[in-house]
Amino acid sequence: MFDVFTNIRLLDILDISVVAFIIYRTILLIKGNRAVQMILVLAVILAVYMASRVGDLHTLNWVLNNFLSSIILVIVVIFQNDIRRALMHVGRNPFFGGMNADEESVVIDELVKACSALGSRKIGALIAIERENGINDILESGTPIDAGVSCELIRAIFMPSSPIHDGALVVQQGRLAIAGCFLPLSRGLDLTKDLGTRHRAAIGLTELADAVAIIVSEETGNISVAVNGGMTRNLDSASLKKVLGRLLEPRKVKLKKQKQQQKG
Protein backbone atom coordinates (compact mmCIF):
# COMPACT_ATOMS: atom_id res chain seq x y z
CA MET A 1 0.00 0.00 0.00
CA PHE A 2 2.87 2.37 0.76
CA ASP A 3 4.29 1.83 -2.74
CA VAL A 4 0.90 2.58 -4.28
CA PHE A 5 0.59 5.94 -2.49
CA THR A 6 4.18 6.97 -3.17
CA ASN A 7 3.93 6.24 -6.90
CA ILE A 8 0.50 7.80 -7.47
CA ARG A 9 0.39 10.68 -9.93
CA LEU A 10 -1.87 13.70 -10.21
CA LEU A 11 -3.36 12.22 -13.39
CA ASP A 12 -4.18 9.03 -11.48
CA ILE A 13 -6.15 11.04 -8.90
CA LEU A 14 -7.96 12.85 -11.72
CA ASP A 15 -8.69 9.52 -13.44
CA ILE A 16 -10.13 7.98 -10.27
CA SER A 17 -12.18 11.10 -9.54
CA VAL A 18 -13.76 11.11 -13.00
CA VAL A 19 -14.69 7.42 -12.76
CA ALA A 20 -16.10 7.91 -9.24
CA PHE A 21 -18.17 10.88 -10.43
CA ILE A 22 -19.58 8.87 -13.37
CA ILE A 23 -20.51 5.99 -11.06
CA TYR A 24 -22.11 8.41 -8.60
CA ARG A 25 -24.20 10.13 -11.28
CA THR A 26 -25.22 6.74 -12.69
CA ILE A 27 -26.45 5.62 -9.28
CA LEU A 28 -28.46 8.83 -8.90
CA LEU A 29 -29.92 8.32 -12.37
CA ILE A 30 -31.21 4.80 -11.78
CA LYS A 31 -32.06 5.24 -8.11
CA GLY A 32 -35.67 4.40 -7.37
CA ASN A 33 -36.70 3.09 -10.79
CA ARG A 34 -36.88 -0.27 -12.55
CA ALA A 35 -33.35 0.02 -13.90
CA VAL A 36 -32.10 -1.25 -10.52
CA GLN A 37 -34.00 -4.51 -11.02
CA MET A 38 -32.50 -4.92 -14.49
CA ILE A 39 -28.99 -4.39 -13.14
CA LEU A 40 -29.61 -7.07 -10.52
CA VAL A 41 -30.73 -9.47 -13.27
CA LEU A 42 -27.55 -8.76 -15.26
CA ALA A 43 -25.48 -9.31 -12.11
CA VAL A 44 -27.15 -12.70 -11.59
CA ILE A 45 -26.45 -13.65 -15.22
CA LEU A 46 -22.80 -12.70 -14.78
CA ALA A 47 -22.57 -14.77 -11.59
CA VAL A 48 -24.10 -17.79 -13.37
CA TYR A 49 -21.60 -17.31 -16.21
CA MET A 50 -18.66 -17.37 -13.79
CA ALA A 51 -20.10 -20.45 -12.07
CA SER A 52 -20.48 -22.22 -15.43
CA ARG A 53 -16.79 -21.65 -16.15
CA VAL A 54 -15.73 -22.97 -12.76
CA GLY A 55 -18.09 -25.96 -12.95
CA ASP A 56 -17.25 -26.88 -16.60
CA LEU A 57 -20.85 -26.46 -17.75
CA HIS A 58 -19.87 -26.08 -21.40
CA THR A 59 -23.30 -25.63 -22.99
CA LEU A 60 -24.46 -23.03 -20.44
CA ASN A 61 -21.09 -21.30 -20.67
CA TRP A 62 -21.34 -21.14 -24.48
CA VAL A 63 -24.85 -19.61 -24.36
CA LEU A 64 -23.93 -17.01 -21.74
CA ASN A 65 -20.62 -16.23 -23.43
CA ASN A 66 -22.45 -15.34 -26.66
CA PHE A 67 -24.95 -13.28 -24.71
CA LEU A 68 -22.29 -11.34 -22.79
CA SER A 69 -20.27 -10.72 -25.95
CA SER A 70 -23.08 -8.38 -27.02
CA ILE A 71 -23.55 -6.89 -23.56
CA ILE A 72 -23.01 -3.28 -24.74
CA LEU A 73 -25.85 -3.59 -27.24
CA VAL A 74 -28.03 -5.28 -24.62
CA ILE A 75 -27.40 -2.48 -22.12
CA VAL A 76 -28.25 0.19 -24.70
CA VAL A 77 -31.54 -1.56 -25.55
CA ILE A 78 -32.54 -2.21 -21.93
CA PHE A 79 -31.57 1.21 -20.56
CA GLN A 80 -32.47 3.31 -23.60
CA ASN A 81 -34.89 5.49 -21.63
CA ASP A 82 -32.38 6.11 -18.84
CA ILE A 83 -29.58 6.86 -21.31
CA ARG A 84 -31.84 9.27 -23.17
CA ARG A 85 -32.72 10.97 -19.91
CA ALA A 86 -29.06 11.36 -18.99
CA LEU A 87 -27.99 12.74 -22.37
CA MET A 88 -31.01 14.97 -22.92
CA HIS A 89 -29.48 17.79 -20.91
CA VAL A 90 -26.02 17.30 -19.50
CA GLY A 91 -25.95 20.60 -17.63
CA ARG A 92 -27.88 21.22 -14.45
CA ASN A 93 -31.15 23.08 -14.79
CA PRO A 94 -32.41 23.67 -11.23
CA PHE A 95 -36.13 24.07 -10.78
CA PHE A 96 -36.03 27.35 -8.89
CA GLY A 97 -33.22 29.02 -10.84
CA GLY A 98 -32.10 32.13 -8.97
CA MET A 99 -35.00 32.29 -6.51
CA ASN A 100 -34.43 32.76 -2.81
CA ALA A 101 -35.92 30.52 -0.14
CA ASP A 102 -38.99 32.70 0.45
CA GLU A 103 -39.86 32.79 -3.25
CA GLU A 104 -39.44 29.02 -3.46
CA SER A 105 -41.92 28.52 -0.62
CA VAL A 106 -44.44 30.83 -2.30
CA VAL A 107 -44.30 28.80 -5.54
CA ILE A 108 -44.91 25.53 -3.68
CA ASP A 109 -47.74 27.09 -1.66
CA GLU A 110 -49.45 28.29 -4.85
CA LEU A 111 -49.17 24.83 -6.41
CA VAL A 112 -50.63 23.19 -3.30
CA LYS A 113 -53.53 25.68 -3.06
CA ALA A 114 -54.35 25.26 -6.76
CA CYS A 115 -54.35 21.45 -6.62
CA SER A 116 -56.44 21.41 -3.45
CA ALA A 117 -58.99 23.79 -4.98
CA LEU A 118 -59.19 21.75 -8.18
CA GLY A 119 -59.49 18.51 -6.23
CA SER A 120 -62.33 19.85 -4.07
CA ARG A 121 -64.31 20.60 -7.27
CA LYS A 122 -63.21 17.37 -8.98
CA ILE A 123 -61.55 19.20 -11.86
CA GLY A 124 -58.85 17.07 -13.46
CA ALA A 125 -55.34 18.51 -13.75
CA LEU A 126 -51.82 17.44 -14.68
CA ILE A 127 -48.86 19.63 -13.73
CA ALA A 128 -45.35 18.63 -14.88
CA ILE A 129 -42.51 20.26 -12.96
CA GLU A 130 -39.05 20.29 -14.55
CA ARG A 131 -36.08 19.71 -12.24
CA GLU A 132 -32.42 19.16 -13.22
CA ASN A 133 -32.92 17.70 -16.70
CA GLY A 134 -34.91 19.58 -19.33
CA ILE A 135 -38.08 18.03 -20.73
CA ASN A 136 -38.66 20.15 -23.85
CA ASP A 137 -37.65 17.27 -26.11
CA ILE A 138 -40.35 15.09 -24.54
CA LEU A 139 -43.21 17.57 -24.81
CA GLU A 140 -45.64 17.46 -27.71
CA SER A 141 -47.36 20.69 -28.84
CA GLY A 142 -48.48 23.12 -26.13
CA THR A 143 -49.24 26.84 -25.75
CA PRO A 144 -46.47 29.09 -24.34
CA ILE A 145 -47.52 31.07 -21.24
CA ASP A 146 -44.44 32.36 -19.38
CA ALA A 147 -46.23 33.58 -16.26
CA GLY A 148 -45.66 33.50 -12.54
CA VAL A 149 -47.05 30.58 -10.56
CA SER A 150 -50.39 31.55 -9.04
CA CYS A 151 -53.33 29.53 -7.76
CA GLU A 152 -55.87 31.60 -9.70
CA LEU A 153 -54.10 31.19 -13.05
CA ILE A 154 -53.66 27.43 -12.61
CA ARG A 155 -57.34 27.04 -11.74
CA ALA A 156 -58.33 29.11 -14.78
CA ILE A 157 -56.16 26.98 -17.09
CA PHE A 158 -57.77 23.71 -15.99
CA MET A 159 -61.37 24.89 -16.01
CA PRO A 160 -63.34 22.70 -18.48
CA SER A 161 -64.28 25.82 -20.45
CA SER A 162 -60.62 26.75 -20.98
CA PRO A 163 -59.27 25.99 -24.49
CA ILE A 164 -55.97 24.78 -22.99
CA HIS A 165 -57.31 22.63 -20.13
CA ASP A 166 -56.45 19.36 -21.91
CA GLY A 167 -52.92 18.09 -21.48
CA ALA A 168 -50.27 19.09 -18.97
CA LEU A 169 -49.24 22.43 -17.52
CA VAL A 170 -45.43 22.64 -17.46
CA VAL A 171 -43.53 24.53 -14.75
CA GLN A 172 -39.95 25.50 -15.62
CA GLN A 173 -37.55 27.67 -13.63
CA GLY A 174 -40.28 28.38 -11.10
CA ARG A 175 -42.68 29.78 -13.74
CA LEU A 176 -45.70 28.52 -15.66
CA ALA A 177 -44.09 27.92 -19.05
CA ILE A 178 -46.39 25.89 -21.32
CA ALA A 179 -49.99 24.64 -21.12
CA GLY A 180 -51.88 22.01 -23.07
CA CYS A 181 -48.83 19.73 -23.53
CA PHE A 182 -49.24 16.06 -24.36
CA LEU A 183 -46.90 13.72 -22.53
CA PRO A 184 -45.76 10.20 -23.46
CA LEU A 185 -47.93 7.53 -21.87
CA SER A 186 -46.30 4.87 -19.74
CA ARG A 187 -46.23 1.40 -21.28
CA GLY A 188 -45.72 -0.33 -17.95
CA LEU A 189 -47.60 -3.60 -17.75
CA ASP A 190 -47.73 -3.52 -13.94
CA LEU A 191 -49.92 -0.41 -13.73
CA THR A 192 -53.33 -0.85 -12.15
CA LYS A 193 -56.38 -0.60 -14.40
CA ASP A 194 -57.92 2.25 -12.40
CA LEU A 195 -55.21 4.67 -13.58
CA GLY A 196 -56.49 7.04 -16.24
CA THR A 197 -54.71 8.85 -19.04
CA ARG A 198 -53.43 11.64 -16.78
CA HIS A 199 -51.83 9.20 -14.37
CA ARG A 200 -50.26 7.17 -17.17
CA ALA A 201 -48.92 10.34 -18.80
CA ALA A 202 -47.44 11.47 -15.48
CA ILE A 203 -45.69 8.13 -14.98
CA GLY A 204 -44.55 8.10 -18.61
CA LEU A 205 -42.90 11.51 -18.19
CA THR A 206 -41.13 10.56 -14.97
CA GLU A 207 -39.83 7.35 -16.57
CA LEU A 208 -38.00 9.47 -19.17
CA ALA A 209 -36.93 12.45 -17.07
CA ASP A 210 -36.31 13.41 -13.45
CA ALA A 211 -39.39 15.66 -13.49
CA VAL A 212 -42.14 15.68 -10.86
CA ALA A 213 -45.79 15.38 -11.94
CA ILE A 214 -48.86 16.33 -9.89
CA ILE A 215 -52.16 14.71 -10.87
CA VAL A 216 -55.63 15.71 -9.76
CA SER A 217 -58.19 13.02 -10.51
CA GLU A 218 -61.32 14.15 -12.31
CA GLU A 219 -63.32 11.19 -10.97
CA THR A 220 -62.38 11.33 -7.28
CA GLY A 221 -60.59 14.65 -6.79
CA ASN A 222 -57.67 12.80 -5.19
CA ILE A 223 -54.17 14.24 -5.59
CA SER A 224 -51.17 12.12 -6.57
CA VAL A 225 -47.48 12.81 -7.22
CA ALA A 226 -45.37 10.85 -9.70
CA VAL A 227 -41.56 10.73 -9.69
CA ASN A 228 -39.00 8.24 -11.02
CA GLY A 229 -41.72 6.10 -12.59
CA GLY A 230 -43.54 5.62 -9.28
CA MET A 231 -46.56 7.30 -7.76
CA THR A 232 -47.73 8.43 -4.32
CA ARG A 233 -51.53 8.66 -4.21
CA ASN A 234 -54.31 10.19 -2.07
CA LEU A 235 -52.37 13.17 -0.73
CA ASP A 236 -53.95 15.97 1.27
CA SER A 237 -52.69 19.57 1.28
CA ALA A 238 -50.21 19.05 4.11
CA SER A 239 -48.69 15.87 2.69
CA LEU A 240 -48.56 17.36 -0.83
CA LYS A 241 -46.66 20.37 0.46
CA LYS A 242 -44.27 18.09 2.34
CA VAL A 243 -43.63 15.92 -0.74
CA LEU A 244 -43.06 18.91 -3.02
CA GLY A 245 -40.79 20.54 -0.48
CA ARG A 246 -38.65 17.41 -0.33
CA LEU A 247 -38.51 17.00 -4.13
CA LEU A 248 -38.17 20.63 -5.19
CA GLU A 249 -36.23 22.30 -2.40
CA PRO A 250 -33.00 20.26 -2.01
CA ARG A 251 -31.02 23.42 -1.24
CA LYS A 252 -33.38 24.49 1.53
CA VAL A 253 -33.44 20.99 3.04
CA LYS A 254 -29.63 20.88 2.97
CA LEU A 255 -29.34 24.24 4.76
CA LYS A 256 -31.85 23.08 7.38
CA LYS A 257 -29.82 19.93 8.05
CA GLN A 258 -26.63 21.99 8.35
CA LYS A 259 -28.27 24.29 10.92
CA GLN A 260 -29.50 21.28 12.91
CA GLN A 261 -26.01 19.78 12.92
CA GLN A 262 -24.52 23.08 14.09
CA LYS A 263 -27.03 23.30 16.95
CA GLY A 264 -26.28 19.67 17.86
Using one digit for the tens of pLDDT, what is the confidence trace for 188-209?
Answer: 766 777 788 899 999 999 888 8
Q: How far apart are CA 140 and CA 196, in angstroms?
A: 19
- In this prediction, residue 189 carries a pLDDT of 61
Residue 49's pLDDT is: 82
Least confident residue range of 7-16, 127-136, 248-257 = 248-257
Residues 6 or more apart from 235 whose CB is under 8 A from it?
222, 223, 224, 225, 243
Q: Give yes or no: residues 223 and 144 share one domain.
A: yes
Q: Tell which of 29, 62, 88 closes a domain.
A: 88
One domain, residues 174 and 127: yes
User: pTM to 2 decimals?
Assistant: 0.62
Tell me 179's DSSP state: E
Q: How many domains does the chain contain in total?
A: 2
Tell me, yes or no, whether 81 and 155 share the same domain. no
Residues 231 and 110 in one domain: yes
Same domain? For 165 and 241 the reply is yes
- Do 17 and 116 fall into the same domain? no
What DSSP line would sit under 15-84, residue for residue? HHHHHHHHHHHHHHHHTTSTHHHHHHHHHHHHHHHHHHHHTT-HHHHHHHHHHHHTHHHHHHHHTHHHHH
Dihedral sign, CA of 217, 117, 177, 95?
negative
Q: How confident is the model at residue 99 (pLDDT cuts 50, 70, 90)?
A: low
What pLDDT does 151 receive? 95
The pLDDT of residue 96 is 56
Instruction: Tell me, yes or no, whether 111 and 156 share the same domain.
Output: yes
Q: Are strands 175-181 and 230-235 parallel, antiparallel or unpaired?
A: unpaired
CATH code where residue 161 lies: 3.40.1700.10
* Contacts (Cβ under 8 Å, ≥6 apart) of 142: 167, 170, 178, 179, 180, 181, 182
pLDDT of residue 154: 96
Structural domain including 15 reads 2-88
Could you report the per-residue pLDDT of 114-169, keeping only the tens digit for each? 999 999 999 999 999 988 777 776 777 789 988 999 999 999 999 999 989 988 99
Of the candidates 168, 173, 116, 160, which has an alpha carbon nearest to the alpha carbon of residue 143?
Answer: 168
d(CA 145, CA 79) in angstroms, rounded, equals: 34
Average pLDDT for residues 206-218, to the nearest whole number?
90
- What per-residue confidence (pLDDT) applies to 18? 86
Same domain, 42 and 161: no
